[in-house]
């Protein structure tokens, strides 16, 4: 008897350009489907950490990322299957415009389509075989919308555009004209959203404010999106489109399987080393697969909030991911006990893995406000956004990488750190103009840089980190509290 693989119904929410309303539509759609009794698996194309936080609130399960640039094309379908386990439908939010991705060729006449749009929404939709629903900001459109849709329909016929959602529609007359334009090119309308400023999510210098920071406000915002979208969308039509997905699920990615070539027997439960992972409002950026891999490599993962906690008892390793330390600098600086814990931890040779905001927090100060002081570097916040993928090489051995190992990562920040000449950088790469650049700091115990790397792409490095962590552990003083006294 032959077993036929199941194809989890899925729909990809895309747009002609950024700012069309994808996040609002995706979050509200996930919430509306959940309210209708569906078990929804949420995903985001690209390296974004913030949107998946809102997806998670709406879905009641982790939001996950699908990024061929960070993990490679071959891992996308397995990661999708892993994240879809137990769901009856998946909703994938795209990135930027439908065909916008990483350009890997500088030749404007390049004919090879693989050289353009790597990691685009269209690319990911093609890999998983899911139909696309196009969210169109209709505020400035009328009959010419038909020409726009015709262009998207014909640009790459391997991408199936199943329908459109018209956003920011003005009047009933405007809606009628837009529907006529869609009918002219044979594209179904799956929903109409009127102009409504209450549907916007507050933002600041790096985009939307993370759901973890807004807590109750985020829950209320998601509930509002859900209510609006439930009434505005044709949910049965969207579900029917999702069932048109034409590629069966791949074998799901597994943290245990990914680590198997590198793990030489997991420790017994009683000897699993404790890895403290920073969370709370200041450190909200992280991939769900990270803690899954740390546990699969043999660690006990314990969350702590640097705004108010100390390191958990028996902490043997620390992970501090991305976030917004500049928004919480006063509280971070006031937690003197945790700052002392981290300095003692590093001084004892216990490993720390820090990315982006984690790098800034390990600095001595940020704009003259105290940080942890683990590293003798200074950070400053400025107006310039640093953004993009980096093909990086490790410059020296560390608790994660060996000299010469290569990764593709992503950086996204407005801060800078000022590193002395005596420090050893973590990474080197060439910028968009071919000039050499370095990033981060490596010491015997610390690997810290601005570069975000997806954990599924670096199983050997994560196993190396857990192995180093497991070699010994640091015990908190017996009179210490796990909470800071402010």
pLDDT tens-digit series, residues 168-219: 999 999 999 999 999 999 999 999 999 877 666 655 333 455 655 556 777 8
pLDDT of the residue at 195: 84
| Per-residue pLDDT tens digits for 57-70 | 999 999 999 999 99
Distance of CA 245 to the CA centre of its chain: 24
Tell me if residue 308 is catalytic: no
Task: Report the alpha-carbon distance of residue 302 to residue 313 in Å, rounded.
Answer: 10
Lowest mean pLDDT among 51-55, 274-278, 311-315, 416-420: 416-420
Question: Residue range 379-405: average pLDDT?
Answer: 92
Measured distance between the N- and C-terminal CA atoms of the chain, rounded to whole angstroms = 66
Overall fold of domain 255-470? Rossmann fold (3.40.50)
What are the start-end ranges of the E strands in 279-400? 300-304, 315-320, 352-355, 365-366, 369-370, 378-394
pLDDT at 230 exceeding the cut of 90: yes
Confidence of residue 384 (pLDDT cuts 50, 70, 90): confident
pLDDT at 390 exceeding the cut of 90: yes
pLDDT of the residue at 116: 47
Instruction: State the Cα torsion 210-211-212-215 to the nearest 10°.
Output: 140
CATH code of the domain occupying 10-242: 3.40.50.300
pLDDT at 129 exceeding the cut of 50: yes
Task: Report the alpha-carbon distance of residue 73 to residue 66 in Å, rounded.
Answer: 9
pLDDT of the residue at 382: 83
Distance of CA 346 to the CA centre of its chain: 28
Residue 88's SS3 state is coil
pLDDT at 312 exceeding the cut of 70: yes
pLDDT of the residue at 111: 47
pLDDT of the residue at 198: 67
Task: Report the alpha-carbon distance of residue 314 to residue 470 in Å, rounded.
Answer: 11
- CATH 3.40.50.880 intervals, the chain: 255-470
Which residues 6+ apart lie within 8 Å of 347 measured at CB?
Answer: none
Task: Report the alpha-carbon distance of residue 229 to residue 150 in Å, rounded.
Answer: 26
Question: Residue range 282-307: average pLDDT?
Answer: 95
Which residues 6+ apart lie within 8 Å of 41 measured at CB?
Answer: 8, 59, 61, 64, 83, 84, 85, 86, 87, 89, 90, 91
Average confidence score pLDDT of the chain? 89
pLDDT of the residue at 441: 95
- To 10 degrees, what angle do helices 145-155 and 172-184 make? 40
Contact 312, 322 (CB under 8 A): no
Retrieve residue 285's tokens. 């950026």
**DSSP H or E segment with residue 99:** none
Nearest to 273 by CA among 473, 32, 462: 473
Residue 431's SS3 state is coil
Task: Write the DSSP assignment of 219-280 as a string of letters.
Answer: HHHHHHHHHHHHHHB-HHHHHHHHTT--SPPPPPP-HHHHHTTT-SSPPPGGGPPEEEEE-T
Cβ burial 125-158 (10 Å sphere, 16+ → b, else e) = bbbbbbbbbbbbbbeebeeebbeebeebbeebee
Given 45, 281, 318, 356, the catalytic residue: 356
Q: Are strands 203-204 and 207-208 parallel, antiparallel or unpaired?
A: antiparallel
Lowest mean pLDDT among 41-45, 326-330, 454-458: 326-330
pLDDT of the residue at 479: 37
pLDDT at 267 exceeding the cut of 70: no
């Amino acid at each position: 008897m032959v077993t036929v693989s199941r194809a989890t119904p899925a729909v990809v929410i895309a747009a002609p350009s950024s700012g069309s309303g994808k996040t609002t539509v995706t979050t509200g759609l996930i919430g509306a489907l959940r309210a209708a009794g569906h078990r929804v698996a949420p995903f985001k194309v690209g390296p974004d950490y913030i949107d998946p936080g809102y997806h998670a609130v709406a879905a009641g399960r982790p939001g996950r990322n699908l990024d061929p640039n960070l993990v490679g094309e071959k891992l996308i379908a397995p990661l999708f299957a892993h994240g879809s386990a137990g769901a009856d439908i998946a909703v994938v939010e795209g990135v930027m415009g439908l065909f916008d991705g990483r350009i890997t060729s500088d030749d404007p006449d390049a004919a090879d389509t693989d050289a353009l749009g790597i990691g685009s929404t269209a690319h990911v939709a093609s890999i998983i075989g899911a139909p696309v629903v196009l969210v169109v900001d209709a505020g400035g459109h009328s009959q010419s919308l038909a020409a726009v849709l015709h262009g998207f329909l014909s640009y790459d016929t391997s991408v199936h555009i199943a329908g459109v959602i018209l956003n920011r529609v003005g009047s009933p007359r405007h809606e009628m004209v837009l529907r006529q334009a869609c009918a002219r090119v044979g594209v179904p309308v799956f929903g109409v959203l009127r102009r409504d400023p209450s549907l916007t999510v507050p933002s600041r210098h790096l985009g939307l404010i993370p759901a973890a920071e807004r807590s109750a406000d985020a829950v209320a915002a998601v509930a509002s999106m859900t209510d609006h979208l439930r009434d505005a969308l044709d949910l049965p039509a969207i579900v029917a489109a999702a069932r048109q997905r034409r590629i069966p699920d791949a074998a799901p990615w597994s943290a245990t399987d990914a680590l198997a070539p590198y793990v030489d027997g997991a420790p017994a439960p009683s000897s699993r080393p404790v890895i403290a992972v920073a969370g709370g409002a200041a450190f909200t950026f992280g991939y769900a697969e990270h803690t899954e891999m740390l546990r699969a490599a043999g660690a006990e993962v314990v969350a702590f909030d640097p705004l108010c906690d100390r390191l958990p008892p028996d902490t043997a390793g620390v992970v501090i991911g991305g976030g917004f330390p500049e928004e919480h600098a006063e509280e971070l600086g006031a937690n003197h006990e945790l700052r002392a814990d981290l300095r003692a931890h590093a001084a004892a040779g216990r490993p720390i893995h820090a990315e982006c905001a984690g790098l800034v927090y390990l600095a001595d100060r940020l704009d003259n406000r105290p940080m942890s002081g683990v590293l003798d570097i200074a950070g400053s916040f400025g107006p310039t956004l640093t953004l993009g993928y980096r093909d990086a090489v490790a410059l020296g051995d560390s608790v994660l990488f060996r000299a010469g190992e290569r990764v593709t990562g992503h950086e996204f920040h407005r801060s800078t750190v000022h590193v002395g000449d005596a420090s050893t950088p973590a990474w080197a790469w060439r910028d968009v103009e071919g000039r050499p650049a370095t990033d981060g700091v490596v010491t015997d115990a610390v690997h810290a840089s601005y570069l975000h790397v997806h954990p599924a792409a670096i199983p050997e490095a994560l196993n190396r980190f857990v192995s180093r962590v497991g070699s010994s552990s640091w015990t908190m003083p017996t009179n210490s509290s796990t909470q800071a006294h402010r």
